[in-house]
């Protein structure tokens, strides 16, 4: 009994004698998939962390961290907030520990000029390592005859150490182990089927200007290449970076190691200041093989600039130099990918334009429903425009429009929508949004209406969200109409300082069929 008492006391003492420290970042770029937030330093932030938007006196969960660099993060949206470049974002990082209790005169910010007596605190030194472990459970069921509920377990682990046994050596890892309960017997005989390694590498700083990495990683200057296994080296001088990689791509079927997908390449990147802001350019040449036979050789170019105040421009393109398709070699030069984005922020207006001619994105892992996947597919490619107007302090509204035409389309695809959001609804101190989208393609017409409410509580940094969507897809070649009413509920809370619990439910109801999704996740952050 004493043993359990000590354990309970230690757990609660971590709550009673530790406090969270926060750092402020600023949104620097918004893409169709991610929101990029720039900080002075990202030490203490790990993949899977929640970033917050300040709404009055409340911190509203807004973003979920996916990728991290030394000064910025890429995060996915978990709220309907109208994100804008320049918006302030808060991250919870290192803790402060109490020193011995003594009298300290502290300024009361709410009553300037008054003081009170309290404890002094010293800030814990920033850790050279941080990581996160999470356990999630997904349960899916329906009322279809004979349907048996399925459950999927997912374990995620990430760990980064800036001084791994040596001050010049760093280690980074991100692993995922996921399986369905009914498949456990098969998975237990082949762990690689369920274990996915997204990052596992060592980096050694040979000199201040030369870095060498070994293992699986994603090079931020070669994001189009994706993850790769192998060796890369990068040398920098002034604002220039030159690098080379040699290794292989992950296996197509299970994301495992496959030396037969050998590849190598070089890249060059330069950062400059021009007029009002920075400009970055990068160029890479890659040679990819299949069974050690070259099947693709291409150039990749990426450009970003801020040299006009409040105007951001991004462009990327791929140029194939050699391909082998169905055993036939082609040495012709052709553009195979193009993406451009232009955004102008003239408060209270914000205008963005983009043109997307990239190949279709194939998700290795996704939990999107059929209706959501279809909407994303139709909205992604082609020409898109967005206009946002932020009025008063907490309210914003906007319109969106898109147009896509391809050679295999019988007629162009068009979409448009309107939305309104309020980050602090009076009296109930709740954020909410209403959204409408219209979709018209060669094979269907669709309407989507959604509403969402979210409220945060200071108690254990909790947040509760309620949502409703109605989706109607009318197919042109058949009499079938997809009509779904979707209800969702989310709740998240820091039950302890480093432990976060999140649970959600989504119910999809059609005329006869209904589907239910339950999700629960608990995560522990090491820092």
**Segment 226-278, tens digit of pLDDT:** 889 999 999 999 889 999 999 999 988 788 899 999 999 999 998 887 666 78
Position 75 pLDDT exceeds 90 = no
Task: Provide the percentage of residues in the chain whose pLDDT is more than 70.
Answer: 79
Q: What band does 19 get if pLDDT is binned at 50, 70 and 90?
A: very low
**Segment 330-368, tens digit of pLDDT:** 888 888 888 888 888 887 888 989 888 876 555 555 555
Do residues 24 and 394 make contact, with C-beta atoms less than 8 angstroms apart?
no
Q: What band does 12 get if pLDDT is binned at 50, 70 and 90?
A: very low
Tell me what pLDDT residue 172 has: 92
**Segment 139-186, tens digit of pLDDT:** 999 999 888 899 999 999 999 998 888 889 999 999 999 999 999 988
Q: What band does 120 get if pLDDT is binned at 50, 70 and 90?
A: very low
What is the end-to-end Cα distance of the chain in Å, rounded? 30
- Find the mean pLDDT for residues 18-32: 65
Joined together, the tokens standing for residue 25 give 């970042």
Q: Which long-range contacts (CB under 8 A, 24 or more apart) does 256-265 make?
A: 256/192, 257/229, 260/289, 260/290, 260/291, 260/292, 261/288, 261/289, 261/290, 262/289, 262/292, 263/225, 263/228, 263/287, 263/288, 263/289, 265/222, 265/225
Q: How far is it, in rounded angstroms, from Cα 321 to Cα 334?
A: 7
* Domains contained in the chain, CATH given: 20-93 (2.40.30.20), 96-124 (no CATH), 128-205 (no CATH), 208-346 (no CATH), 368-520 (2.40.160.10)
Q: Kindly report the pTM of this predicted structure.
A: 0.68
How far from 491 is each of 51, 445, 505, 519, CA to CA, in Å?
A: 16, 34, 9, 11
Position 505 pLDDT exceeds 80 = yes
**Segment 409-466, tens digit of pLDDT:** 678 888 899 999 988 888 888 889 999 999 998 888 999 999 999 988 877 778 899 9
Q: How far is it, in rounded angstroms, from Cα 160 to Cα 174?
A: 9
**Segment 368-406, tens digit of pLDDT:** 555 566 556 555 678 889 999 988 778 889 999 988 877
Q: How far is it, in rounded angstroms, from Cα 318 to Cα 298?
A: 7
Asked if the bond preceding 270 is cis, omega within 30° of 0, the reply is no
Burial of 159-182, coded b for 16+ CB within 10 Å and e otherwise, reads bbbbebeeeeebbbbbebbbbeee
Phi, psi at residue 258, to the nearest 5°?
-145, 95
Tell me what pLDDT residue 13 has: 34
């Amino acid at each position: 009994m004493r043993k359990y008492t000590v354990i309970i006391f230690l757990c609660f003492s971590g709550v009673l004698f530790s406090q969270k420290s926060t750092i402020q970042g600023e949104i620097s770029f918004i893409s169709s998939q991610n929101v990029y937030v720039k900080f002075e330093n990202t030490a203490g932030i790990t993949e899977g962390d929640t970033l917050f938007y300040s709404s009055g006196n409340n911190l509203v969960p807004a973003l979920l961290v996916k990728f991290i660099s030394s000064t910025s993060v890429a995060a996915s949206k978990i709220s309907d907030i109208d994100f804008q470049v320049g918006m302030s974002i808060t991250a919870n990082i290192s803790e402060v520990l109490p020193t011995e209790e003594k009298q300290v005169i502290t300024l009361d910010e709410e009553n300037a000029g008054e003081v009170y007596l309290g404890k002094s605190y010293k800030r814990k030194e920033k850790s050279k390592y941080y990581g996160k472990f999470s356990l999630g459970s997904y349960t899916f069921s329906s009322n279809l005859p004979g349907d048996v509920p399925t459950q999927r377990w997912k374990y995620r682990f990430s760990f980064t150490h800036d001084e791994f046994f040596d001050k010049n050596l760093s280690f980074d890892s991100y692993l995922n182990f996921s399986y369905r309960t009914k498949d456990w017997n098969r998975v237990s005989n082949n762990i690689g089927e369920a274990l996915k390694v997204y990052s596992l590498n060592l980096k050694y700083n040979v000199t201040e200007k030369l870095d060498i990495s070994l293992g699986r990683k994603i090079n931020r200057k070669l994001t189009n290449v994706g993850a790769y296994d192998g060796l890369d080296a990068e040398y920098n001088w002034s604002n220039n970076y030159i690098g080379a990689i040699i290794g292989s791509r992950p296996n197509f079927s299970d994301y495992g190691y496959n030396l037969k997908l050998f590849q190598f390449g070089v890249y060059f990147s330069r950062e400059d200041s021009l007029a009002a802001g920075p400009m970055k350019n990068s160029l890479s040449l890659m040679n990819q093989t299949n069974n050690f036979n070259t099947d693709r050789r291409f150039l990749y170019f990426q450009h970003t600039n801020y040299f006009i105040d409040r105007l951001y421009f991004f462009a990327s393109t791929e140029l194939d130099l050699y391909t082998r398709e169905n055993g036939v070699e082609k040495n012709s030069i052709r553009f195979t990918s193009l993406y451009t984005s232009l955004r102008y922020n003239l408060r209270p207006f914000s205008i963005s334009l983009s043109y997307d001619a990239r190949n279709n994105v194939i998700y290795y892992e996704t939990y999107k429903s059929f209706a959501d996947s279809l909407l994303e597919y139709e909205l992604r490619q082609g020409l898109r425009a967005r206009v946002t107007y932020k009025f008063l302090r907490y309210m914003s509204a906007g319109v969106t429009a898109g147009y896509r035409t391809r050679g295999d389309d019988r007629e162009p695809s068009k979409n448009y929508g309107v939305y309104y959001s309020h980050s602090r609804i009076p009296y109930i101190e709740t954020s909410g949004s209403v959204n409408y989208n219209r979709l018209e393609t060669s094979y269907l017409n669709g309407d989507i209406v959604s509403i969402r409410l979210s409220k945060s509580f200071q108690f254990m940094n909790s947040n509760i969200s309620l949502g409703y969507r109605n989706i109607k897809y009318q197919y042109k070649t058949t009499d079938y109409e997809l009509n779904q009413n979707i209800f969702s509920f989310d709740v998240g809370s820091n039950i302890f300082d480093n432990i976060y619990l999140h649970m959600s439910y989504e119910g999809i109801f059609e005329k006869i069929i209904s589907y239910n999704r339950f999700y629960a996740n608990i995560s522990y952050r090491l820092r």
